[in-house]
A and B are shown apart, each in its own frame.
Chain A
Amino acid sequence: MTLSLHHFLMLSAIIFGIGIYGALTRRNILGILMSIELMFNAANINLAAFNHFLYPDRVWGQGVVIFVMTLAAAEAVVGLSLVLAIYRNIKSVYTEKLNLLHG
């Protein structure tokens, strides 16, 4: 059995679904951040897979993946520093304490 585009898309959808699930259900902000990273990577897999199967002689998709990974790293830095700031303010990293936006 050869690996086709569908398999990659299935994998990416599963990872994205896990990421969504994690982002919606984790109480820990760090968990949410990690789930977001999962969704990034699911998208990256998509990009790389499409590039590989549709335009095998080009690397545009991979290039975008590199950009996304760089962005994700920067995002992780900002996100973690936000987490630190939140922790300093409310002494907690659990989202149920974080309802200052409630109407």
Chain B
Amino acid sequence: MVEYAYLIPLLPFAAAILIFFFGRWLPVKGAVLGILACLASFGISFDLLMQVMDGTLKLPHEIHYPWFDVGLFQFEWGVLLDGPSLVLIVAVSGISALIQIYSVGYMHDAPRFKRFFSYLSLFTAAMLALVLANNYLQFFIGWEIMGACSYFLISFEFERDAAGAAGNKAFLTTRLGDLGFYAGLLTIFFVVGTFNFTQIQSHLHDGNVSTHMAMIIALLLFCGTVGKSAQFPLHVWLPDAMEGPTPVSALIHAATMVAAGVYLVARSYGFFLQAPQALEVVAWVGGFTAIFAATIAVTADDVKKVLAYSTISQLGYMIMGLGVGGYSAGLFHLTTHAAFKALLFLGAGSIIHAVHTNDMWKMGSLSKQMPATFWTFLSGTLSLAGFWGTSGYFSKEMILGAAYSSHHLILYVIGCAGAFLTAFYMTRAFSLVFLGDPRERDRFAHAHESPSTMTIPLMVLAIPALGLGWLMHNPETLTRFFPMEGLHEAVEPAWVGWVGLGSGLFGILVGGMLYLGSLSLVDKLASIFSPIHKLLKNKYYIDEIYWALFVRPTGKLAQALSWFDFNVIDRIFVDGFGWLATLWSKIQSWFDDYIVDGLVNGGGWSAETLGAMARRVQNGFVQNYLFVITMTLVLLLMAMETFVGKH
């Protein structure tokens, strides 16, 4: 079975192409094809997982296929099956299949239905190809195709200007990070001479890469992560990406694509281990992003924005986990987060589908109307808040434990504060949406449970959101799936985990107290802390700062260049050359008219004149001819007499 692993990305890719060109004639406009391809990929992935579990397949397993040669370098594509990639292909294909099933219900009356499914399939194929890649080149190709799909899908409803602008913003912002990633790739090839992960790992193991070089490469690659995984300071695109349809937010901008950045750090972990300072940068960027985004999520009104900032924050956790040496913790959180964040987004989509608004202040008391969404959203919320026993609890505790045991005390405190904030804003969102009194009677009255194509994926996703932690949290399973040599995960004292859990529970408690009671207390608190509230509400004015620092100067520069183009290039060069050419052609035309034509006409004229003279002789009178002949004869004879006959 493992030799068919290449089919895992190939099937969704084929589905994407078939849907794009022939979707019109396929059942449910091709959506069925995309779902089946994804399920097939999931089947293969799950079978591989089972083989690994019962020991018939040894990890890591690498398969090479030749690709192309450049001079002496042979490039290959291939499949690298190891713990992280195996776990992620199961997660990605499974979540993608569920989200596509969900989208059949969610998008049923949307325009460009088949194109949507084609993009989803293409995205899934790219993500699976990236996860399974055995070299950086294939990884990069998957990475960029995902970026393009993300762009297409964010601006899917391009009739709205905001969607188009958000797509541009996402594409350009991630591009900034990709620039670093690309430079990192070039540096890797320059320093190590290969893109293959296994070969790079053995080169690192043999000490062929200096610490200095490893740090440069690690930091450049991390630029890609900062862009793709929306870390500070390139996080600005992810909240705007919520302009895309909600299933897209769930699949791409929460569960899978944004995790690719974390996965990149995990794949390049050898470089980071060689350069501890780079790892330190990773840890601090992650930690800062985790708390920074969590504070913004506290004041967001849009349910999708809450989840978006929460995603940024959780990605920060993962990256912090990797940065403090918690390799397995970071990847574990990546896996659990994929499950519960996909669930939360799909739940939010179900809510939006019912009440036709994103604003949480216009919802309330929806628990009775939408029981399936209510219970599944609750399990997602508990998991994200780190409630005891949910999968989010286990993975988050592990990250906090890794931070503590690696003596990053400040990061540990930040992590606990973030856990408190996470629990708080999720409780806030949950209370505002599902509990309390309905704030808008009309919407409340018309709200109804979503169709079963939407609720069934929710229920399926609730299972890993609650149970995945129990399956994976014991150290043997984790080191089996996420092994990393040269890394000893220390055991931290038990109270470290309890503090994390306590801050989560405290967050739930505070959130419940504030938002389940009368909301006047909330308003009072907001007015007391109005400067802070305003700062958070405006997302620390980051967008405004970027606007003033980068976007506006760029616009001004473009205007100046346009003016230069118009007045200097166009006027002087283009128009000037045009004028010169006209002048030159006028001279040539004059020359043509008078000299060339003059010669031609002169030839004609002289022939005509000579003819006119000659025709006088040819007047038709025989006697004239005879006269001419006689005279000529006489003249000739005289000439002969004069010049010849003198002897």
Contacts and interface: CB of A to CB of B under 8 A. Distances in A.
Interface of A: 20, 23-25, 32, 95-96, 98-103
A25 to B, nearest CB: 8
A73 to B, nearest CB: 22
The size class of the interface chain B forms with chain A is 10 to 19
B646 interface: no
Interface stretch (B193-201, B419-427, B612-620): B612-620
Nearest to A26: B623
Interface of B: 614-615, 617-623, 626-627, 630
Contact of A101 (B614, B618, B626, B630): B618
Contact of B620 (A23, A24, A102): A102
B619 A24 contact: no
A24 B630 contact: yes
A6 B614 CA distance: 41
30 contacts: A20-B630, A23-B623, A23-B626, A24-B623, A24-B626, A24-B627, A24-B630, A25-B623, A95-B621, A95-B622, A95-B623, A96-B621, A98-B621, A99-B619, A99-B620, A99-B621, A100-B620, A101-B618, A101-B620, A101-B621, A102-B618, A102-B619, A102-B620, A102-B621, A103-B614, A103-B615, A103-B617, A103-B618, A103-B619, A103-B620
- Residue in B615, B623, B626, B627 whose Cβ sees the most chain A Cβ within 10 Å: B623
A101 B617 CA distance: 11
A23 to B, nearest CB: 6
A23 B623 CA distance: 7
Nearest to A32: B623
A23 B627 CA distance: 9
A55 to B, nearest CB: 24
A20 B630 CA distance: 8
Contacts of B615: 103
A98 B630 contact: no
Nearest to A95: B623
A78 to B, nearest CB: 15
A98 B622 contact: yes
Contacts of B627: 24
Nearest to B616: A103
B166 to A, nearest CB: 91
Given A24-B630, A95-B623, A99-B620, 18 more contacts: A20-B630, A23-B623, A23-B626, A24-B623, A24-B627, A25-B623, A95-B621, A95-B622, A96-B621, A101-B618, A102-B618, A102-B620, A102-B621, A103-B614, A103-B615, A103-B617, A103-B618, A103-B620
